[in-house]
Structure 1
Amino acid sequence: MDSPPSVQDASPQPDLWLAAKRSPKPKPHYAGHRDRLRERALAGGLAALPDYELLELHLFRSIPRGDVKPLAKQLLARFGSLAGVLGAAPEELKTVKGVGDALALDLKLLHEAALRTAREAVGKRPVISSWAALLAYVKTALAHEAREQFRVLFLDKKNQLIADETMNRGTVDHAPVYPREVMRRALELSASAVILVHNHPSGDPTPSSADIDMTRQVVDAGRSLRIAVHDHLVVGREGVASFKALGLF
């Protein structure tokens, strides 16, 4: 009959135990990726990075550890582009796994910075002479909004921007517009002209028949008050449609 193992026989061998203790844990596949990406950004400039890597760099600040490349690519796939990610509402951003309140706020911070930069370019010169800057501004503000908004740019006698105000927010395909309210606000601001702006969440900026009818009502309301309607811009992900360029009024 075999004798039971001694306590000494049951304990691990000292040399094997020390080897296991000293053996380093395998590094994750993304080890060093953050440093390499930062070095590439510094060497080649941020403009040389693709969208997902630019987004990664920003995510590094919000998520201090781990591999954020999958999250960056998932956000771009969900919202279609970097502009789509930044333009998405916080509630929409948080539908993506890994995005919480803090990260959603960080992403919206970038969007707000871009919006203010674009607005500054519009506000310092007559709007009519800085049309490209105006189109860039309205695209930044509205191209990726999930719900329709109706905004009005109020201009002074020199066609400089007095105010940009959201007159109404609506559903995915409709935002009620009241011509009298537009003109009442124009009088309060001593505006000489307005530019109407609204978005199509579908992405297609083609004006609808309802858009055309509403615009004519605003033009008629302003005529007796000598408040001009310079244009009506319809913003979508596919571009910006100008009523004036289309010959609609």
Structure 2
Amino acid sequence: MRQALALSLCALFLGGCASDPADRDISGTWINQVAIDAATKGGPLREALQGYGPTLEWDVNTKAGQARYNNGFENAQGQMLAEKSGSWKIDFYNSAITLKRDGKQLLQEANDNEPEQVFDRPKDPAPEGAPLGANFERALYSAYLGGEWKIVNGPGEGGTVLFQSNGQVMGLPGADRFALCLAGDCASMTDGYDNLWLQLNGQGKPWIFARNGKQLEIFQAINTSQEADQFPGYIQGTRQWLLEKQ
């Protein structure tokens, strides 16, 4: 009788004693919202991503026992193993990462190679079938460049620029799409400078940018490599645009 009463109370006040399996299920997409929030304060982009990354997005399938992550330039897939502590061990070729639920967030525990990292569900998920990393990019583009920007100086002065979460840009002369460099080869090419890709009708090139609060400066990127087959190395050139967020 007492046991039945205890079970009834548990179901009434706690929604059932079988809540542990739900807490352990980390399936779905998770993004590094903390890194995005740091970037939106208006400082250097990659500085924020490096400070709170390097992992940017997780895609987890507990039923299949697989978990994938994206760090801005590559994807990695590992096999999942449930641990008695309630966490999940993700085994890769030569390393392992531990994930666990922390309320409504996903926690990536610190290890010898990376610090602790926290992930949230995307508020505006990317369309079904989008590649891994698209949810993070979508959230970043909206938070970091969302809203109206006025061209204070440069071609199209006085006009309004809109950067869309899907990578489209409106109002910036000579460009219809953009992509922010998050990590990898594109980051190595500019030696610490933040850079983005601007293109029109499928043809484009890299530009260097600097974000300072509500101001965004976009500079020409000058390639200093001497040979055509050399890895490009860009330095900051003449400022093309000064944008101000409205």
Q: Please, what TM-score do these two structures have when normalized by structure 1?
A: 0.27
Q: Name the structure with the higher strand share.
A: 2
Q: Which has the larger share of helix? A: 1
Q: TM-score, normalised by structure 2?
A: 0.27
